[in-house]
């Protein structure tokens, strides 16, 4: 599991470290990203994976993420999905991983060890 320190965002002191961990993890194939937010990590995933499924319950942040990726000129297919992660129907085939970046910030500190 890659866990970004709280406050990690583009340009922050931890940004490069987390990107190196993402490279080491090596997401390939189709990578689902839960709670994708405004697409900061989605963009990073498109630079490594063959396809990304970006999931978030907020249509506003999905639109911001879509615009961010369009401006960046990415070529990796991204599918935007609005249901909550617990309601997302699994796709056929096995996945090597699952990415959730800032979603962990919603986990109470006393429950973090369980993840």
| CATH (domain of 47) | 3.40.50.150
Residue 26 is assigned to a structural domain of this protein:
yes
Q: In this structure, are residues 67 and 79 in contact, taking their beta carbons and an 8 Å threshold?
A: no
Residue 82 is assigned to a structural domain of this protein:
yes
Specify the pLDDT at position 72: 92
Residue 32 is assigned to a structural domain of this protein:
yes
Three-state SS at 81:
strand
Task: Please give the Cα distance from 108 to 76 (Å, whole number).
Answer: 34
Q: What is the DSSP letter of 87?
A: G
Question: Could you list the residue range(s) of the whole structural domain that residue 73 is in?
Answer: 15-87+94-103
Residue 30 is assigned to a structural domain of this protein:
yes
Beta-sheet strand order (sheet of 78-81): 30-34, 51-55, 78-81
Task: Please give the Cα distance from 14 to 93 (Å, whole number).
Answer: 34
Residue 114 is assigned to a structural domain of this protein:
no
Residue 108 is assigned to a structural domain of this protein:
no
pLDDT 10s digits, 45-94: 998 889 999 988 899 999 999 999 999 998 899 999 887 555 555 555 54
Domain count, the chain: 1
Angle at Cα 46 formed by Cα 43 and Cα 51, nearest 5°?
135
**Virtual CA dihedral for 112, 58, 91, 70, nearest 10 degrees?**
-110
Question: 114 falls in which pLDDT band (50, 70, 90)?
Answer: confident
Residue 113 is assigned to a structural domain of this protein:
no
Specify the pLDDT at position 94: 45
Residue 9's contacts (CB-CB under 8 Å, 6 or more residues apart) are 15, 40
Work out the percent of the chain whose per-residue pLDDT is above 90: 23
Residue 72 is assigned to a structural domain of this protein:
yes
């Amino acid at each position: 599991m890659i866990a970004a320190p709280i406050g990690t965002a583009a340009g922050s002191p931890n940004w490069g470290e987390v990107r190196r961990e993402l490279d080491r993890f090596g997401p390939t194939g189709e990578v689902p990203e839960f709670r994708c937010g405004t697409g900061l990590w989605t963009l990073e995933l498109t630079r490594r994976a063959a396809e990304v499924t970006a999931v978030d319950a907020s249509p506003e942040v999905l639109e911001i993420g879509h615009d961010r990726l369009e401006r960046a000129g990415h070529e990796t297919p991204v599918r935007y999905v609005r249901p909550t992660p617990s309601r997302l129907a699994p796709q056929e085939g096995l996945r090597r991983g699952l990415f959730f970046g800032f979603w962990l910030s919603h986990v109470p500190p006393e429950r973090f060890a369980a993840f």
